[in-house]
Amino acid sequence: MNIVVGITGGIAAYKAVNVIRGLVLAGHDVHVVATEAALRFVGRPTLEALSRNTVNTDLYEAVAEVRHVAIGQAAELVVIAPATANTIAKLAAGIADDLLGNTVLATKAPVVIAPAMHTEMWQNPATVANVELLRSRGVHLVGPVSGQLTGRDSGAGRMAEPDVIVAEALAVASGTARLRDLEGVSVLVTAGGTREPLDPVRYIGNRSSGRQGIALAEAARDRGARVTLVAAHVEVPLPSGVEVVRAETAARLLEVVSDVAPRHDVTIMAAAVSDYRPVAVSDAKIKKAATGERLTLELVQNPDILATISAGPRGGRLVVGFAAETAPSRDELLELGRAKIARKGCDYLVVNGVGWTTGFATDGNEVVVLDAAGDIVFEASGSKMSVADGILGVFARARSGAQ
């Protein structure tokens, strides 16, 4: 396949060399179009050696070959990694003041971009609007992910890993990714961890970051679903293009989910709901002086939202639960999962192991999906986004089989 790799001027350009290498090793003919700024971060010889082709940067080179349109016309796939905020803005506006802008305007091939920038720039309303516009025109986004940025800071805006970009870009080109198989389907996802207040400043909470739930909401949106995200406490930016309802406590989550789940074809309970809440919530901050050496908290069980919405007639609506367990072995993990799905009465259960360092607040995940009979219907490990896509495939197939 003739693939154009656009490289723009961000520090993540040093990682883009692995995107080129990955595509070349997969047998593709890679043509690099680098902006002037990109060449300040990574040298032309490196790009030429890895791509095995001349690197194009200049709009006014080889004018007789009408190169400013020829490269885009010949491309079967265009991958831009990293895509800076500036490049994203120019693509959204259709600006063609350099070779890459011309190439993108002249191509009919799928365009995949891997944004990379600081969190503030990624969350700036201008970037948010530009990304939304590109997405609506069919541009595919890979990442960004949350993680360490160039400086000491970390957050959303880190470029997706090169192997993920390569895999997703090739999947887009072969038409296997970004399936629109959830067009016309409504999906409700709960995400994050609930916080049960003790007093105005303290709460009982958990380490859920909301990453997997939000990845599910984003993947469902990308596959054409109408998505409602019910977010408890989350540590990652809320996605665009989905309706967001905030629900901090289990009680509020129950209210919201009971209200909106009947209007959704698929409900995915990815939120980590606190099993207990304090019996009494103090209106004033609890003081050491008043409580003394030891403080005993009395807790009461929260209603089980998943079990509640799974019970009763559902008329073909799917309900999916999550089980995060600290089992010592895979067999014991599955055992716990099978007991849980029988107890909860949902259609599918996504089981994953968690521990002090695994499962929560990480970019990757490893899951097994069980059906109501306790049989394994899907297994995956990888980025939370790729795991989300795989999980959604199970429900998409179940729905199309049911129709």
Which residues of this protein are in contact with ligand C5P, per CB under 6 A? 250, 269, 271, 273, 275, 302, 304-306, 321-323
Distance from C-alpha of 135 to C-alpha of 142, rounded to nearest angstrom? 11
Nearest to ligand C5P of 109, 391 (CB atom): 391
CB 395 within 8 A of CB 266: yes
Quote the least distance from Cβ 258 to ligand C5P, whole Å: 11
Quote the least distance from Cβ 344 to ligand C5P, whole Å: 6
Quote the least distance from Cβ 401 to ligand C5P, whole Å: 23
Nearest to ligand C5P of 131, 191 (CB atom): 191
Is 313 exposed, middle or buried, given 0-12, 13-18 or 19+ CB atoms closer than 10 A?
exposed
Catalytic site residue from 102, 206, 352, 365? 206
Nearest to ligand C5P of 28, 317 (CB atom): 317
Distance from C-alpha of 393 to C-alpha of 276, rounded to nearest angstrom? 33
Distance from C-alpha of 193 to C-alpha of 273, rounded to nearest angstrom? 6
Distance from C-alpha of 69 to C-alpha of 73, rounded to nearest angstrom? 6
Quote the least distance from Cβ 199 to ligand C5P, whole Å: 22
Q: 84: which 2 tokens? A: 């800076």
Nearest to ligand C5P of 93, 311 (CB atom): 311
Residue environment code for 127-161, b if the CB has 16+ CB neighbours within 10 A, otherwise e: beebbeebbeeebbbbbbbbbebeeeeebbbbbbb
Nearest to ligand C5P of 138, 328 (CB atom): 328
Quote the least distance from Cβ 314 to ligand C5P, whole Å: 15
Quote the least distance from Cβ 339 to ligand C5P, whole Å: 10
- β-pairing, 348-353 vs 318-325, is parallel
CB 101 within 8 A of CB 142: no
Distance from C-alpha of 198 to C-alpha of 254, rounded to nearest angstrom? 19
Neighbours of 27 (CB within 10 A): 7
Handedness of CA 108, 110, 115, 121 (dihedral sign): positive
**DSSP per residue, 188-208:** EEEESB--EEEETTEEE----
Nearest to ligand C5P of 122, 203 (CB atom): 203
Nearest to ligand C5P of 216, 273 (CB atom): 273
Distance from C-alpha of 342 to C-alpha of 340, rounded to nearest angstrom? 5
Q: 158: which 2 tokens? A: 């880190």
Please indicate whether residue 302 is annotated as part of the active site.
no
Name beta bridge partners: 247: none
Q: Which residues are catalytic?
A: 206
